[in-house]
Structure 1
Amino acid sequence: MTPRRSAHMTIMVAAAQKAARRLVRDFNEVEHLQVSVKGPSDFVSQADMRAEQTIREELERARPGYAFLMEESGAHGSENWAWRWIVDPLDGTTNFLHAIPNWAISIALEKRLPEGGSEIVAGMVMAPALDELFWAEKGAGAYLNDRRLRVSSRRDWSSALFATGIPFARTAPRNRLAFARVLGALMPETAGVRRMGSASLDLAWTAAGRYDGYWELGTHLWDVAAGALMVREAGGYATAPDGGDALSGDIVAGNPHIHPRLRELVGSALETAKT
C-alpha cells in the first residue's frame, strides 16, 4: 500500500522538486565549467542560492506564518515561531562542484512544544541526480520513495559498513584528533568506512540499511535534522556522543546493535582529545 503523506510533507516535496529541476540543469553544466578559466565555484554558489530562494518562496506561499532556518541566509520570521522550516538547499556542494552525483536537498519541519523546547516532526532528503526521495514523519515511519525503510540488522562489526565526514581545513583541532582516533579504531575490525560528502544522505542511507553506522563531528542543524528523524523512524538511533540531543553538533547514528559501541567510541575519543 502506498504510504500517505501529510499536507506538510506534500508541501516540502513539492518545494524540493521545483528547486531540483533547476539544480539538475545546473549540475549538467558543471562538467563543462571544469575547464573554464574562472572555474565553477561562483556558478555553484549561485545555484545554491537560487535553490534556497525557490524553496523559501514555495514554503512561504504554502505556510506564510512559518519561520525559517536556512543554511545560506540564516534565520527568518518571528523569534516566537510555532513552526519552523530547516533547509539545506544543496548538501554536498563540493560533490556538486566536481560533478559527483551525491548531493541532496534537505528540508525538515520543527514544531515548538507547549511545555517548552521543540521537536523535528517531518523531514525529507531528495537526491535529484540519483532519483531518490527519502522522507519521514514522526510516528509514521521512514520511506524511500514509497518503500518503508528499516535500519540494518547487522551485529558483527567485521561485516559492518560505516559512514563519516572527514575533517577539512576549517575543522577544529580537537575534532580532527578525535576523528583520527575513531577511524583508527574502526579500520582494523570493520568492513570499511565511507566518506560520501553529504551528511543528510549519509543519515538517509543509514536509515535505509546501506550503512550500519554513521558519525560526524561539528555538523549543523540543517545538515542532520531531517536525516536524524529518518534513522529513528527506521528503527535506529541518532544521538550525540554523550547520548543527548543529536542536533547539537556531534552525531552518532546506527542500528540498535551498532550504535551503543560506536557512541561510546566517539565519546571516548572526544574526551581524550580535550586533554
Structure 2
Amino acid sequence: MINSSAGSDDAEVAIAGARAGADVVRTLYGQRLTRVDKGDGDFATAADIQAEQAILDVIRTARPEDAVLGEEGGRHGAADAERRWLVDPLCGTLNYAVGSMLVAVNVALRGGAAAVADPFSGEVFGTDGTSAWVRQDGADAPLVPTPATQLVDVNLDPPFPGAPGFRAVDLLAHPDFSARFRPRVVSTTLALAWVAAGKRAAYVTDGGDLSGSVHFAAGIALCRAAGCVVTGIDGAPLGQAGRGLLAAADADTHGQLMSMIRGGG
C-alpha cells in the first residue's frame, strides 16, 4: 500500500473521489447524453456534471470544511478556506462524446495530494505530495518515469496564446523532434499521468499559469512527486508568470525539448 505520510489520508480522499467520478464516466459511456454549451465550441455532457457531483459528495463527506473548485459547478465552500480541492470530472469531453475512451478524472488538493483515474483501464494514479504510485486491482506500484518510449504528447487544442513565439505544430515540424521522438495527441491530461508512469517521455502544452488549473493540477502533482522535470514552455518554474507546461521524464529529455522550443521560437 502507499507510504505513510502526512498527506496519506488526503491521498485516499483524492483517490476515492477520482474513483467515484470514474464510475460515473464509465457507466454513462456510449449513451446519448445531454450537452451543455459553454461557448467557444466547448461543452459539457451529463457525464461531466454527474461525475463532478459524485466527486463533490466524497470530498464533502470526508473534508466538510474544505473548499472545492469544480470545472462544471465552480466554487463551493468558504472563500477564505485554507484548503481547496481542484476537480476536473472528465478531461477529454470531446473524446468521450465521440466514443473515445481517452479521458481522465482529475482530483487535486492544491499544494498537496492528488489522483488521476483512467475510467476504462481501472488505473488510479495517486500522490500524497511526496511519493507517487498507481493503484489497480487493490495493489499499488510506484510510478517510475522513463523516456524509453520516446513518445511525446503535444496538446494541439486551441487557443494558442503563445503564438507566434511558440506553436506546437512548429515543435512537431522541428527536424530534431522527428529524429529523437514520436508525437502523440490524445487531447486529455491523462497523458501527464502517463509521463509519471513511464508511458510517455514528455508532455507539452501552451497556455498561461496552469499550476492552479483544474485540468492540470493533479497531473502536475503526480509528475513532480514521481521525479519528473516540470517547468513552463519557457523553462521557468510554474507560477503566475508562467507560460504553459513541459513535463519530462528526465532532465535530458527536458533539455532536448527546451532546445527545440527555443530554437523554434
TM superposition score category, shorter chain reference:
0.7 to 0.9
Instruction: Give RMSD over aligned pairs.
Output: 2.5
Alpha-carbon distance in structure 2 between the residues aligned to 1:192 and 1:45: 32
**In 1, are the aligned partners of 2:247 and 2:254 still within 8 Å (CA)?**
yes
**In 1, are the aligned partners of 2:160 and 2:167 still within 8 Å (CA)?**
no
Letter in 2 for 1:131: G
Aligned residues: 245
**In 1, are the aligned partners of 2:67 and 2:85 still within 8 Å (CA)?**
yes
The one of 250, 253, 257 equivalent to 1:258 is 253
In the other structure, the counterpart of 1:224 is: 216
Q: Provide structure 2 residue ranges, at least 5 long, that are not aligned to the other structure.
A: 37-42
> Per-residue CA shift, 1:115-144, capped at 9, x if unaligned?
xxxxx21111001112111111222x2111
The one of 119, 134, 139 equivalent to 1:128 is 119
1:10 aligns with 2:2: no
| Aligned-pair CA distance for 1:180 | 2.1
Alpha-carbon distance in structure 2 between the residues aligned to 1:190 and 1:62: 46
> Per-residue CA shift, 1:94-116, capped at 9, x if unaligned?
11111111111100111xxxxxx
| Aligned-pair CA distance for 1:172 | 4.1
SS at match of 1:55: helix
Distance 1:174 1:83, change over 3 A: same
Letter in 1 for 2:196: A
Percent identity reads 27
User: What TM-score does the superposition give when structure 2 sets the normalisation length?
Assistant: 0.83
Alpha-carbon distance in structure 2 between the residues aligned to 1:125 and 1:40: 25
**In 2, are the aligned partners of 1:228 and 1:246 still within 8 Å (CA)?**
no
Alpha-carbon distance in structure 2 between the residues aligned to 1:249 and 1:40: 34
Alpha-carbon distance in structure 1 between the residues aligned to 2:259 and 2:81: 36
In the other structure, the counterpart of 1:68 is: 68
Report which of the two has the higher share of helix. Answer: 1
| Aligned-pair CA distance for 1:197 | 1.4
| Aligned-pair CA distance for 1:7 | 1.3
Q: Provide structure 1 residue ranges, at least 5 long, that are not aligned to the other structure.
A: 34-38, 111-119
**In 2, are the aligned partners of 1:44 and 1:97 still within 8 Å (CA)?**
no
Letter in 2 for 1:259: H
The one of 184, 187, 196 equivalent to 1:197 is 187
- After TM superposition, the structure 1 = structure 2 runs for residues 41-120 of structure 1, keeping only pairs within 5 Å, are 41=35, 45-110=45-110, 120=111
User: What TM-score does the superposition give when structure 1 sets the normalisation length?
Assistant: 0.80
| Aligned-pair CA distance for 1:148 | 0.5
